[in-house]
Amino acid sequence: MSNLNMYAIVDSTEEGHYWNFKTEDMDYDLNGQCLLPTKEMTEEYIKDKLGVDYYKVIEVNVESISKVGTWVYGTTEDEIFEY
């Protein structure tokens, strides 16, 4: 699998808080429900739904996904993680 770039919304005032699009609330774990396919779509969501300046967009680079659902990723803000 080649790398897959997705985008997430983070709370710039609280490290490790990601916007979950399913629950429409902040989540402590970055998961598939926190990802959108384009930066533009993510920025538009902030503008239209959240309207708060302390949210920002990060790029999530999915390195690999296993058959059992484990995935390895890195973001524009941190090192490679396994989830």
How many angstroms separate the CA atoms of 54 and 44, rounded?
A: 15
β-pairing verdict for 18-20 and 71-75: unpaired
- Other C-beta atoms closer than 10 Å to the C-beta of 82 total 10
Strands (E), 4-66: 4-11, 18-20, 25-27, 55-65
The whole domain housing 59 covers 4-82
Looking at the 3D structure of the chain, how many domains does it have? Answer: 1
Mean pLDDT of 72-76: 84
Widest Cα–Cα separation across the chain: 38
Any bridge partners for residue 71, and if so which? 65
| Residue range 40-49, pLDDT digits in tens | 999 999 999 9
Kindly report whether the global pTM for this prediction surpasses the value 0.85. no
| Residue range 6-44, pLDDT digits in tens | 999 999 888 889 999 999 999 999 988 999 999 999 999
